[in-house]
Structure 1
Amino acid sequence: MRRGLAAIALALVSYLVIVALWANSVARELLQATPGTDRRIELDSGRLAALLAIEDPAFYSHRGLDMSDGQGLTTMTSVVARDLFLHGHDLDGWKGVLQSAYREVFSCCKKVDLGRDVMALVLHSHASKQQQFNLFLNNAYWGAIDGRAVVGIEAAAGAYYGEDAHALTDDKFFGLIAMLIAPNRFHPLIYPEDHAERTSRITKVVTGRCAPSGWLDLTYAHCDGVD
């Protein structure tokens, strides 16, 4: 039993070490190849605070991973790391072989795979917080319309509200934030009632009328009874 557990632990550590070495070797190449790394989208302090309250409360203080209330299993950094290392630019040679292997591992076991968390730590060492934030806003998935993916906050503002992101009212901006946890599940055109409910809940969170009840509370269901 002990030998079996030791073998499993050794295999896991070896896997994570290889992931870290690979991610460190390809990070710069992927950052250069990914659109939006240096494209800055300005948000006023209120909008920024609202986004972070829902997506990553400790974004500017953590090093890629965090366990704040309402954080759940992902940070903005780990979301960017997943997309950057696994779902973006295709690598060549041995780097591409490992990229394909990690894609398969994440596809099969993303709920328990720690590889993405290691990639988040590596990303943090290669990209500034501003670059991480740029990548998140410019490349986040905001659902699909007529089979076409809506990618980035500017595209989402135009697709769902017909406006530029900076021109959105607070309610519309909160409506975009509401989608990020599951863009097609809380799609305002397909599931307007679910989207409205989710928007109402996060509005109460970002305005301070309610708060996440723990690390894994991402639904804020208890906020429904709060005025």
Structure 2
Amino acid sequence: MKKLLRISLRLLGLLILLLFAVILWSGGKGYYDALADSGALAERADRLIEDGRGGTSLGESQLAILIKVQDPGFGNHKGVDLTTPGAGLTTITQSLSKRLAFETFQPGFAKIRQTGYALGLEARLGKQQILALWLATVPMGEGPDGWITGFHAASQAIYDRAPPELDRDEFLRLVAVLIAPGAYDLSGADTKLDDRVSRIEKLIAGECRPTGLNDVWLEACGN
């Protein structure tokens, strides 16, 4: 019996070591892949910023709203945020990494590589570069002519105006779809989208706040 227990403990130890090795390899690969990609990505980001499609092009107050809703700790974290209420398990940098580092993202160990890639991006790119790439690649749902990719593209497709030219409600509707772009209808009336906008308005007004890290749906801001 004791011999069987020792064998079981030894096997368990080996499995733990193997798991640890896989985590190190996957995370390390993501990190160094990001470093290798960073030069081309920085050039792409700078072109977007020069073309008026960076974060500052949204306008100061509107950019603040987007960050507060989407990744409230963005200005301070290094790619991962496990403490800020409302941050969820995926930062803006991790979200961008999922699109840059994977042809098809499958949850599981891919999350480790995704996180490593995000850490690598933060090590080489500035926040404004990361934000510009994220805005250009973020899925925005269905528009009049099909699926829309990119925040500025959605603004043009839905409202025929650039983000700084939108009124508050129009901008909030674009921000609202980011959490689940396939679940909302930007082109027409959508009560679910209206509810999401209402919750965001209460958050911005200081009438409520996320109840914890994973409260990305703003449960405390409901009617």
| TM-score, normalized by the shorter chain, greater than 0.5 | yes
Percent of aligned positions with the same letter in both sequences? 29
- Establish whether residue 159 from structure 1 lines up as the match of residue 157 from structure 2: yes
Which residue number corresponds to residue 24 of structure 2?
17
Aligned residues: 207
Per-residue displacement from partner, 1:100-136 (whole Å, max 9, x unpaired)? Answer: xxx5xx41537x8433222211221121111111111
Tell me the C-alpha RMSD between the 2 structures. Answer: 2.4
Per-residue displacement from partner, 1:1-41 (whole Å, max 9, x unpaired)? Answer: 53344333322322232234433443255345558422122
For the 8 Å contact 1:16–1:114, the answer to whether it is kept is: yes
- Report the secondary structure of 1:133's partner residue: helix
* Structure 2 counterpart of 1:221, from 190, 213, 219: 219
Distance in 2 separating the partners of 1:16 and 1:126? 22
Q: CA deviation at 1:196?
A: 0.8
Which region of structure 1 is more displaced relative to structure 2, 186-195 or 171-180?
186-195
- Establish whether residue 116 from structure 1 lines up as the match of residue 114 from structure 2: yes
* Structure 2 counterpart of 1:69, from 81, 85, 93: 85
For the 8 Å contact 2:28–2:113, the answer to whether it is kept is: no
- Establish whether residue 196 from structure 1 lines up as the match of residue 194 from structure 2: yes
Q: CA deviation at 1:154?
A: 1.2
Which residue number corresponds to residue 128 of structure 1?
126
Distance in 1 separating the partners of 2:189 and 2:108? 28
What aligned pairs does 1:1-227 form with structure 2 within 5 A after superposition? 1-33=8-40, 36-38=44-46, 39-40=48-49, 41=54, 42-67=57-82, 68-87=84-103, 103=104, 106-107=105-106, 109=108, 113-145=111-143, 148-189=146-187, 192-225=190-223
Per-residue displacement from partner, 1:42-97 (whole Å, max 9, x unpaired)? Answer: 2322112111111111111111101210011100011111111113xxxxxxxxxx
Unmatched runs of 5 consecutive residues or more in structure 1: 88-102
TM-score, L = length of structure 1: 0.81
Distance in 2 separating the partners of 1:3 and 1:186? 51
Unmatched runs of 5 consecutive residues or more in structure 2: 1-7
Which letter maps to 1:71? A
Per-residue displacement from partner, 1:152-182 (whole Å, max 9, x unpaired)? Answer: 1111101222211121111111111100010
For the 8 Å contact 1:19–1:119, the answer to whether it is kept is: no
For the 8 Å contact 1:144–1:184, the answer to whether it is kept is: yes
Which region of structure 1 is more displaced relative to structure 2, 68-77 or 145-154?
145-154
The structure number with the bigger radius of gyration is 2
Which residue number corresponds to residue 4 of structure 2?
none
TM-aligned CA distance change 1:17 to 1:204, over 3 Å: same
